[in-house]
C-alpha cells in the first residue's frame, strides 16, 4: 500500500492566497515532473531537497497551461510523511487547484484518503500514534491553552511519559516470566519488583488525573448566561464577543430564544449561551423561552448568574440561585459603571462558596477578571502541574490507561493473594498492551482506520 504515490489539495477549498497540492510517495518527483515545467534551468527531477522552483503546471496529456506554480521538493526521509514529497503551490482559486490536482492524478498519483499523509508519517515511524493525534488536536484547537497542550503532545511529551510507564511494566513482566520459566535459577519476584509495579499504578493514576483538564482544553466548556430579565445578559455576551450579536434593550424579556456563540474566556474555548431572563409572570413565547433557558443552564458545565447592581440582589435572584442547585457558577454583578459604589456583600452572600465578580458590559470593566475566575473555577481541583508535563487530551488515551490501571490493580491484588505467577503475567501483558495502544506499538489496523478517518482530506 505504501508503494503508491498519493496526492490531494492540502489547503481549504475556496479563494485564498495560495492553494497547495501535496504529492507523497516513491514516484512523487516523477509524477510532479510530468505536470511541472520549470521557467528556467534543469528539469524538476534533478532538484535538490528543500529547493523551490518556479514554473508552469501543464496538463500532461494535452499540454494545456493550467497555472503558474512553485514546486517545493522534499526528499525522503526529510518530509512530513518521511517519503519523497512535492508540493505544488498554485494561485489560490478552487478551480485552478482542482485542475492541477486532476493533472497530477493523470500523471499517475492516486487521490489520498482523509488523513493518509499523517497515516504514512505514522507508518514510516516519523510520528507515533499519540503524536499523529496531536496533529488533529492542533488543527481543531479553539483556544490558546488547547493549542499549546497539543503542540507539546506533538513534540512527544505524552509519548515519552507513556513509554516510561510501558518500560516499567515490561521490566516487571520480565521478572515474573523469568521466575515462571526458570524457577530454580531466578526464584520468586521479590518486594522490590512489587514496589516497581506499585509505582506504575501511581504513575497511571497521575496521568489519568490530568484528563479532566485535558478534556476542557481539547473540547472546551459550555457556559450559560442566566438571570432575571434586563440585568444585561445579552449585553455581556456582546461585550465578551466584542460584537453586537444579541439584541439588547431596556424592555425586560428582550431575549426569547437561546443564542449560542463560541469564544475564548480566560484562554479556554467556551460555548457561551445567552438565555431568556427568568420571571414567574411570563406567558406564551416568553414562557417557552424561559423553559429553554432552564434546559441550557442544566446542560452547561458552568453558569454565569448575572445580577443588576443598580437594583441589588433580589428575592428572584435568590430563587434562581436556589433552582440551580449544585451547578458550578460565578455570580456576576453587572452595570458597575452605573452605581456610585458596588454593594459586594449581597453578591458574596448569593455566591456562597462560588466566586463572584463585578463587571460592566458597557465599559468592559472586570471582564478580564471574569475570564480568570471562570478559568480558576473550571481548572480548580487539579493538582498543580509543571506547564511542560504531559496531559491527556483524547478520550481514547484515557480509556486505554484506565484499562491498563485495572490490569495493574488485578496483578497487585493477585500478588497479595498468592495467585499463580502465570495468572499475574496475563494481567501484566494486558497492561502492557493497553499502554502500547496509545503510542501505537500494539495498535490494530481497525483502530488506525478509526483514528485517521477523523482527519480532513489532504492532511
Number of residues forming the site for ligand GTP (CB under 6 A): 23
Q: Residue 49 binds what, of Mg ion, ligand GTP, none (CB under 5 to 8 Å, by partner type)?
A: none
Q: Which of 5, 131, 218, 234 binds Mg ion (CB under 5 A)?
A: 234
User: How many other C-beta atoms can be found within 10 angstroms of the C-beta atom of residue 387?
Assistant: 8
Identity of the residue, 232 or 458, whose beta carbon is nearer to ligand GTP in the bound complex: 232
Q: Residue 320 binds what, of Mg ion, ligand GTP, none (CB under 5 to 8 Å, by partner type)?
A: none
Among the candidate windows 4-12, 99-107, 224-232, 347-355, which touches ligand GTP by CB under 6 A?
224-232
Say whether the peptide bond before residue 108 is cis (omega within 30 degrees of 0): no
Identity of the residue, 2 or 342, whose beta carbon is nearer to ligand GTP in the bound complex: 342
Identity of the residue, 7 or 304, whose beta carbon is nearer to ligand GTP in the bound complex: 304
- Which SS3 state, helix, strand or coil, does residue 130 take? helix
Integer angstrom CA distances of residue 459 from 153, 362, 412: 18, 43, 43
> Per rule CB under 6 A, is residue 366 in the interface with ligand GTP?
no
Task: For residues 220 and 379, give the distance between their C-alpha atoms in angstroms, rounded to a whole number.
Answer: 12
Among the candidate windows 234-242, 341-349, 372-380, 395-403, which touches Mg ion by CB under 5 A?
234-242
Q: For 55-58, which contacts have Cβ atoms below 8 Å and span 24 or more sequence positions?
A: 57/88, 57/90, 57/100, 57/103, 58/103
> Per rule CB under 6 A, is residue 258 in the interface with ligand GTP?
no
Task: For residues 143 and 438, give the distance between their C-alpha atoms in angstroms, rounded to a whole number.
Answer: 24
Identity of the residue, 11 or 255, whose beta carbon is nearer to ligand GTP in the bound complex: 255
Classify the C-alpha dihedral 154-158-164-170 as positive or negative: negative
Q: Residue 229 binds what, of ligand GTP, Mg ion, none (CB under 5 to 8 Å, by partner type)?
A: ligand GTP
> Per rule CB under 6 A, is residue 293 in the interface with ligand GTP?
no
Residue of minimal CB distance from ligand GTP? 277
- Which SS3 state, helix, strand or coil, does residue 404 take? helix
Task: For residues 6 and 143, give the distance between their C-alpha atoms in angstroms, rounded to a whole number.
Answer: 32
Q: Residue 59 binds what, of Mg ion, ligand GTP, none (CB under 5 to 8 Å, by partner type)?
A: none
Task: For residues 38 and 58, give the distance between their C-alpha atoms in angstroms, rounded to a whole number.
Answer: 11
What is the per-residue binding string for Mg ion in 237-256, x denoting contact by CB under 5 A? -----------------xx-
Number of residues forming the site for Mg ion (CB under 5 A): 4
User: How many other C-beta atoms can be found within 10 angstroms of the C-beta atom of residue 332?
Assistant: 30
Task: For residues 218 and 204, give the distance between their C-alpha atoms in angstroms, rounded to a whole number.
Answer: 20
Angle (deg, nearest 10), helices 94-106 and 28-35? 120
Per CB under 6 A, contacts with ligand GTP among 332-351 are 334-335, 337-338
Q: Residue 372 binds what, of Mg ion, ligand GTP, none (CB under 5 to 8 Å, by partner type)?
A: none
Residues forming contacts to ligand GTP in the complex (CB under 6 A) are: 229-235, 248-250, 252-255, 276-277, 334-335, 337-338, 360-362
Amino acid at each position: 500500500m505504501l508503494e503508491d504515490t498519493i496526492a490531494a489539495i492540502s489547503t481549504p477549498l475556496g479563494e485564498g492566497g495560495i492553494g497547495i497540492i501535496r504529492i507523497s510517495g516513491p514516484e512523487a518527483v516523477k509524477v510532479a515532473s510530468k505536470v511541472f515545467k520549470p521557467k528556467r534551468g534543469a528539469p524538476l527531477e534533478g532538484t535538490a531537497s528543500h529547493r523551490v522552483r518556479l514554473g508552469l503546471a501543464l496538463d500532461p496529456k494535452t499540454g494545456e497551461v493550467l497555472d503558474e506554480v512553485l514546486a517545493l521538493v522534499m526528499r525522503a526521509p526529510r518530509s512530513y510523511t518521511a517519503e519523497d514529497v512535492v508540493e505544488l503551490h498554485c494561485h489560490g482559486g478552487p478551480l485552478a487547484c482542482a485542475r492541477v490536482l486532476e493533472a497530477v492524478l493523470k500523471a499517475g498519483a492516486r487521490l489520498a484518503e482523509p488523513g493518509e499523509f499523517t497515516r504514512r508519517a505514522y507508518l514510516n515511524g516519523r510520528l507515533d500514534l499519540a503524536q499523529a493525534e496531536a496533529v488533529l488536536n492542533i488543527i481543531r484547537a479553539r483556544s490558546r491553552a488547547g493549542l499549546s497542550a497539543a503542540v507539546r503532545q506533538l513534540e512527544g511529551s505524552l509519548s515519552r511519559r507513556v513509554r516510561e510507564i510501558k518500560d516499567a511494566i515490561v521490566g516487571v513482566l520480565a521478572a515474573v516470566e523469568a521466575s515462571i520459566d526458570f524457577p530454580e535459577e531466578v526464584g520468586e519476584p521479590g518486594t522490590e519488583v512489587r514496589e516497581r509495579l506499585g509505582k506504575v499504578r501511581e504513575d497511571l493514576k497521575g496521568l489519568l488525573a490530568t484528563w479532566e483538564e485535558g478534556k476542557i482544553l481539547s473540547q472546551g466548556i459550555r457556559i450559560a448566561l442566566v438571570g432575571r430579565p434586563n440585568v444585561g445578559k445579552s449585553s455581556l455576551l456582546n461585550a465578551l464577543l466584542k460584537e453586537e450579536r444579541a439584541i439588547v434593550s431596556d424592555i425586560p424579556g428582550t431575549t426569547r430564544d437561546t443564542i449560542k456563540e463560541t469564544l475564548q474566556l480566560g484562554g479556554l474555548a467556551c460555548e457561551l449561551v445567552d438565555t431568556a431572563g427568568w420571571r414567574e409572570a411570563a406567558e406564551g413565547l416568553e414562557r417557552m423561552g424561559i423553559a429553554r433557558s432552564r434546559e441550557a443552564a442544566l446542560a452547561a458545565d458552568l453558569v454565569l448568574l448575572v445580577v443588576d447592581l443598580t437594583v441589588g440582589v433580589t428575592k428572584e435572584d435568590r430563587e434562581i440561585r436556589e433552582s440551580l442547585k449544585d451547578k458550578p457558577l460565578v455570580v456576576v454583578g453587572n452595570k458597575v459603571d452605573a452605581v456610585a459604589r458596588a454593594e459586594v456583600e449581597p453578591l458574596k452572600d448569593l455566591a456562597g462558596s462560588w466566586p463572584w465578580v463585578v463587571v460592566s458590559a458597557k465599559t468592559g470593566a472586570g471582564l478580564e477578571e471574569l475570564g480568570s475566575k471562570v478559568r480558576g473555577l473550571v481548572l480548580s481541583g487539579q493538582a498543580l502541574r509543571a506547564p511542560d508535563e504531559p496531559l491527556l487530551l483524547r478520550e481514547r488515551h484515557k480509556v486505554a490507561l484506565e484499562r491498563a490501571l485495572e490490569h495493574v490493580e488485578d496483578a497487585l491484588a493477585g500478588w497479595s493473594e498468592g495467585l499463580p505467577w502465570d495468572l499475574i503475567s496475563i494481567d501484566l501483558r494486558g497492561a502492557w498492551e493497553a499502554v502500547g495502544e496509545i503510542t501505537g506499538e500494539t495498535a490494530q489496523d481497525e483502530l488506525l482506520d478509526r483514528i485517521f478517518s477523523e482527519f480532513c482530506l489532504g492532511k
